[in-house]
Every structure is written in structure tokens, then in C-alpha cells.
Amino acid sequence: MTARIGVVTFPGSLDDRDTQRAIRVAGAEPVALWHKDKDLKQVDAVVLCGGFSYGDYLRAGAIARFSPVMDTVTDQAKAGLPVLGICNGFQILTEAHLLPGGMLGNDHLHFICRDQKLRVENADTSWTSDYTAGQEIHIPLKNMDGRYVADRRTLDELEAEGRVAFRYLDMNPNGSLNDIAGITNAAGNVVGLMPHPEHAVESLIGTGRTDGLPFFTSILKKLVNA
């Protein structure tokens, strides 16, 4: 039976079709979900894609967090549903308190778009098992509000519990504390990151690399073996 992975579209989402394609390339079935949906259509996992939901008014992800779909996503994530938040999706996950900390504007106050080098710090989550800890990868990065921040106690907990999933290498592109590019919850089913793995799944487009594909093959294997 083919795994079904939902992709939520909010007003202002940009990367929903790219994310659906990445899921298809990995061998799963993408399922389009609308921000007003309360029913997740019996999907096995959910991706909150990148973009500028609700125009990033008030604060990136702050309005999307109150969309009807997020009530269901939040409840099911707490019950173990795998959820991946990419860029704006990561911002929404922090606003929904599914992941700790928050996102602020880049410290240089400019939008950034680049191929970013990362180190995989945690390969034990539902979305990262096809990587190895310490592996260095290149994933496209594009954001205006990508600076991850948290209080010292939260940062210490993330580091001590191995919940930093990805870290920026060579340069810190947005001023994120501890060079954090992505984190996971304690259970490992919810992961958020600022870079865009859906733009690095085919060698003929994007960066010319497939370093992002393991996100989608990881969850597929997790679901098939569950």
C-alpha cells in the first residue's frame, strides 16, 4: 500500500507543488491539503511547505498557526503523526508550539537565497533516518525570517538531548543561535528546518544535487516499516 503524505497549502504558500513532486519522486503519494481542512484525509504524514503564509503579517507563521488544519495537525502530531516543517512550515511549527523557540528576521536584514552547506546532527528522526550523523550535505536556502532563537535553557536542552537536527556549516547565513538550521521534537516525529530539501531531489534541476531526497525516502521507509 502506497504511503500518503499530505502537503498543506496556506494563502501565500509557494512550494507546495515542489513538495508534492519531491514526495512523488521518493515513491509516496502526495495529498493536497487546504488550510481550511479539518480532515487530513487519512494521510500517514504531513508536510508544512515553504512560502509566506498570510503574507507573513504580524510575524512569520503567526496567522497560519490558527488555520483550521493546524488544530488537527497539532493534535495528531502530539499523538505521533510525522510532521515536517520546511522554512515557513518551520516557523508555523514554532508558533504552534510543536517545536520550541522562534524565528526572527535575518541578522543582516536581507532576504537570502543560496545553496547552503549543512551537517546532519540527528539521523534518528522519522525524516532523517536515510542520512548518517555527521554527514555534510548541500540544501537550497531562501528566507527573510530565518534566524532561529531560543532562551539559553531551551538551547541547552536541545543540545543535551540531541535535538538539533541540522547545523549550518562554513557560514551562518541568518544569525541563528548555535548555527541551528533545523530541530526535532523529543519524540522525533516532528522536524523543522529552514533550508528547502524539496528543491534538491533531482540532479537535472535546482542545485544539481539530490541531497534533499533522503527526507522523503526516510519517512517513506518509516511508514512502510511501521
Query: Is position 108 annotated as part of the catalytic site?
Result: no
Catalytic residue among 35, 138, 196, 199: 196
Query: Is position 202 annotated as part of the catalytic site?
Result: no
Residue where the block lists cell 490558527: 66
The distance between the two most distant Cα atoms of the chain, rounded to a whole number of Å, is 47
In angstroms, rounded to a whole number, what is the distance separating the alpha carbons of residues 148 and 133? 21
Phi, psi (rounded to 5 degrees) for 5: -120, 120
Residue where the block lists cell 562554513: 170
Catalytic residue among 87, 95, 121, 199: 87
Query: Is position 110 annotated as part of the catalytic site?
Result: no
Catalytic residue among 95, 121, 198, 199: 198
In angstroms, rounded to a whole number, what is the distance separating the alpha carbons of residues 15 and 32? 12
Residues belonging to the active site = 87, 196, 198
